[in-house]
Structure 1
């Protein structure tokens, strides 16, 4: 049986485990610190794969490795390249195939819809780091050291997703009957990726030889404005926090908040994604693979996410502290 090794036990890694478990696959989860709550039959290995020797041991016997881990947001520049070096070393030693879960930061601000053939023009440190990491993966593939492919997603939502621009700030707020906080102009179109769809696409890419050596934007639900997305969340939650539903953090307020808040300081680099339409095209994936991975309809994906948040609320699970600035709607500029 093919052995699948998932690096990381965050929302994406655990969603990949869900897909593999549904297929009855032999699965292993590798984490550095935590001991995640895993389904029966899933093996757990503790290892810090930043260190190549540890990665070699952790990936022993692997046929496919899914790199779904990342350092803490503020440590990307210092730690991400070493993480990727370690993962590559472990994959090479195992003679496995590498599937990387990636985002879109490397493109930087783009005055067009996002496609895989855009150059890496990020000017901020996080975007440049993501570009460097992608280049490390593809350099190793082209050198014949490993077989690798990369799946790229936009901003996440879905079960287990709390630390996202539409995590606790939108879904958590809606279920609790609070106003949602969003960044930039909520009138603009913005593509959001449903994490279970992302996971299905990653597993699929790992199975296809024609996916190797390339990056792929995974299939996404329809793109709507952030305002419309939030409206659908509140419709699914059936809560009414009063008017307005949305408090939008404007550019200048985000800049001011960055001076006093580390999370906002880290987010400030990506403000461009909320100041212009941010539309991600998955045409390459669909043209190549057809309907092999059909995205969940947006309203269904939102309803499933609301159900997960409501279940956590019923269980009394603590919320992750959302990124927050004290504002009133008038101070926040655009509001709904």
Structure 2
């Protein structure tokens, strides 16, 4: 019987597992494929985490459930995220376990002063933000002990985001790092190890009641241009930043907006990505 159940073995779930086993706790990681870090205190289980009955069985006797899974594509959020949330809530309620949720900043929406913290009202108007808001309200109204930690773009080992996709590869090769957005716009990055530590800490401290939605604390947010005087540890030279045109940001099946549709920055600490799915069109004759 595992003391902790983790849904998802990505960069956050793996870091949560590492922190728990370091203090001698037993962990069960649930993924579709049965993946996860290999460790004597880690049990890896292949299961459908959106199945409430299965999740209730797998969480039997657990002190805490960490929901660290997220659909890889934004287009799948509406279809896949609600069943996952419903299943983990049911498992936490049936087993009287604390539910620690990995959240994002989408639910806050655009803020007048460009800043946000856990006291900022959830005023999202976009589809993804409204979904995040509904799912947090669902957890709050479920009569369980729960908390949610919200972070920005992840950096750190195995993290997937703007830094790992666009910035780090260029810096390693000493090339220009193309940034989606304005170079002088402050932007916050969240270290995945800090995110995991906050989840573990709040799951323990909120063991007797409902915890608030919490923004992971960060240092003041720098802009890309503010790093001009700082040598890159990878390249050994000053980074070369450039605002990313659509032609340079394109990925197979994906592209960033044209210069006329700049990414929407919702806070001095967070930029809302506007990557959009586009079909490849044949050039006209």
The interval holding the TM-score normalised by the smaller chain is 0.7 to 0.9
The Cα offsets for residues 112-133 of structure 1, whole Å up to 9 and x where unpaired, read as 2112222222222211111111
Q: What is the Cα deviation at residue 180 of structure 1?
A: 1.6
CA distances 1:47-102 after superposition (whole Å, capped 9, x unpaired) = 11111112112212211011100112220111111110011111112210001011
| Counterpart in the other structure of 1:291 | none
Q: Is 1:55 the counterpart of 2:47 in the alignment? A: no
Q: Deviations over 1:186-233 (max 9, x none)?
A: 21111211111111111000111387241111122342113335875x
Moved over 4 A (4+): 229-232
Q: After the TM superposition, which residues 175-186 of structure 1 pair with which residues of structure 2 at under 5 Å, given as runs?
A: 175-186=172-183
**Does residue 1:208 correspond to 2:205, yes or no?**
yes
- For 2:223, the equivalent position in structure 1 comes to 225
Of the three residues 271, 293, 297, the one matched with 2:263 is: 271
Query: What is aligned with 2:235?
Result: 238
Q: Say if 2:152 and 2:189, in contact at 8 Å, map to a contact too.
A: yes
**How far does residue 37 in structure 1 lie from its aligned partner after superposition?**
3.5
C-alpha distance in 1 between matches for 2:76 and 2:47: 19
**TM-score, normalised relative to structure 2:** 0.82
Q: Name the CA shift for 1:166/1:211 in 2 (closer, same or farther; >3 Å).
A: farther
Task: Report the count of equivalent residues.
Answer: 266
Q: CA offset at residue 34 of structure 1?
A: 4.6
In structure 2, the residue matched to 1:121 is 123
RMSD: 3.0
Contact 2:108 2:122 in 1 (8 A): yes
Query: 1:135 aligned to 130, 134, 137, which one?
Result: 137
Structure 1 residue aligned with 2:103 = 102
The answer to whether residue 11 in structure 2 is matched with residue 16 in structure 1 is no
Q: Classify 1:38/1:121 alpha carbon distance in 2 versus 1 (closer, same or farther; 3 Å).
A: same
Taking structure 1 as the reference length, what is the TM-score of the superposition?
0.71
Does the 8 Å contact 2:101/2:148 carry over to 1? yes
Name the CA distance, whole Å, in 1 between partners of 2:16 and 2:209. 18
Which secondary structure does the structure 1 equivalent of 2:90 belong to?
Answer: helix
1:43 to partner: Cα distance: 0.9
CA distance in 1, matches of 2:25, 2:263: 40
Other-structure match for 1:248:
243
